[in-house]
Amino acid sequence: MMAAAHYVTDETGAVSTGDASPPVPRPRSDSPNMSLDSKYIPATQRPDGTWRKPRRVRDGYVPQEEVPVYENKYVKFFKSKPDLPPGLNPEEANKGKQQPKQDGDTVGLSKSAKRNLKRKEKRKQQQQEKGEGEADVEELSQSLQKTAVSGGGHSPLGLGDSETSERAKKIKNLKKKLRQIDDLQQKLDSGEIKQATKEQLEKLSRRKALEEELEDLELDL
């Protein structure tokens, strides 16, 4: 009958049988290669496209790049908050974005206000093309005169030609008055005229009415 083996553990953790045979090393629980709760992760691709090397990690390990970012309750609240006001239909909001942007100066204005705005814009354009406009009036007057002369003077001008001729004369007269008002205003601004007389003040006050009358005539041409 064989005697039972006698095992002895020394200070290093090695197990021996008590005889002269070499000790059998005892596996350490903290060894990464021998740990029972470890696993092997193959090469994986990061979110940015790069690759991780294969490695052995403990079970339940999550790579740092995949750890979800902590968000407090305020961040979560604003993320869950809808973009549109309560009760607003998303389709109507999309339609509003697709509509062309209207001119902010004309939205909500009455017809008369829009007309005044149109007059101001045209007045500004007329100041830039003042010389060209006067040349056009002169050309129109000369053309009408030539038409009358070519008729031999025996037949009167038609009703439409007569109205056009009268309108052209009024436009020419109004532009002449406006030039005089501009000259007077420049003299007052430069100090050439120290104080305007009553008649000069009345002439300056009529500028707006003359400009509106001129614009109406030019719009009807």
Q: Which residue has the higher pLDDT, 134 or 44?
A: 44
Structural domain includes residue 12: no
Q: Write down how long the chain is.
A: 221
Instruction: Determine, yes or no, domain membership for 136.
Output: yes
In sequence order, the β-bridge partners of residue 158 are: none
The answer to the question of residue 18 being in a domain is: no
How many structural domains comprise the chain?
Answer: 1
pTM of this structure = 0.30
Q: Kindly report, residue by residue over 158-208, the tens digit of the pLDDT.
A: 556 677 888 888 888 989 999 998 998 888 888 888 888 888 888 889 888
Q: Is residue 89 part of a domain?
A: no
Considering the domain boundaries, does residue 70 fall inside one?
no
Residue 93 lies in a domain: no
Contact 55, 41 (CB under 8 A): yes
Residue 175 lies inside a defined structural domain of this protein: yes
How, if at all, do strands 8-9 and 15-16 pair?
antiparallel
Domain of residue 188: give its range.
111-146+161-219
pLDDT of 90 higher than 80: no
**Cα angle 50, 52, 58; round to 5:** 150
Closest CA to 144 of 165, 128, 159: 165
Residue 193 counted as domain residue: yes
Alpha-helical regions (H) of the chain? 73-80, 90-98, 111-128, 130-150, 159-190, 198-205, 207-219
